[in-house]
Structure 1
Amino acid sequence: MPKIIPIRKLRDTSEISELCHSTKEPIFITKNGVGDMVIMSLETFEENSGMSDFYGIKKDE
């Protein structure tokens, strides 16, 4: 189930960072009840976008 939070919650950056890393899924941000942004951990982004190959990023083994 997607995680959806209001934009005012972005003030607590440590909590948002922990949430991004613990869910390993995109987090949807709403503004005035309407979808506005999506955030995720760098690891999740790399796994889902294929951009790690483009940038030459090597994952730790």
Structure 2
Amino acid sequence: MPNIRPSSDLRNKYNEISDFCHEHSEPVYITKNGKGDLAVMSIETFESLAGKFELGKLINEGIASMKGNKTRSFREALDDIQNSIE
């Protein structure tokens, strides 16, 4: 169940909101004049979510490359990685 709080709680109960976000790794939804306005979350939760979006983007790029026959063998890719390390 989402945690929904009024915007005044950001000022008056910041520590409580922060503790919740860190303990539960989920956002707190902030309302303004009774309507949804913001989602507040810990930095760790945000970075995890952003990483998932980036991974999804890379997977979609890979799928598009496969559909367009713009791929190369595993051996070629591994050789490129090894050459970049040396």
CA contact under 8 A between 2:25 and 2:42: conserved in structure 1?
yes
Once residues 39 and 46 of structure 1 are traced to their aligned partners in structure 2, the CA distance between those partners, rounded to angstroms, is: 13
- Normalised by the size of structure 2, how large is the TM-score? 0.54
Residue 4 of structure 1 aligns with an amino acid whose one-letter code is I
Q: Which residue number in structure 2 is paired with residue 43 of structure 1?
A: 44
Which structure features the higher share of strand residues?
A: 1
Cα displacement (A) at 1:29 = 0.2
Asked if residue 18 in structure 1 is aligned to residue 23 in structure 2, the reply is: no
In the alignment, structure 2 segments of 5+ residues that lack a partner are 55-86
Larger Rg belongs to:
2
- Normalised by the size of structure 1, how large is the TM-score? 0.73
Task: Please list every run of at least 4 consecutive aligned residues from structure 1 whose deviation after the TM superposition is greater than 2 angstroms.
Answer: none
Sequence identity percentage: 52
Once residues 3 and 35 of structure 1 are traced to their aligned partners in structure 2, the CA distance between those partners, rounded to angstroms, is: 12
Which fold has the larger relative contact order, with Cα–Cα distance below 8 Å and residues 6 or more apart in sequence?
1
Cα displacement (A) at 1:24 = 0.6
Q: CA offsets, 1:1-56, max 9 Å, x none?
A: 111100000113222211111121111100111001111000101111118x8xxx
Once residues 15 and 28 of structure 2 are traced to their aligned partners in structure 1, the CA distance between those partners, rounded to angstroms, is: 14
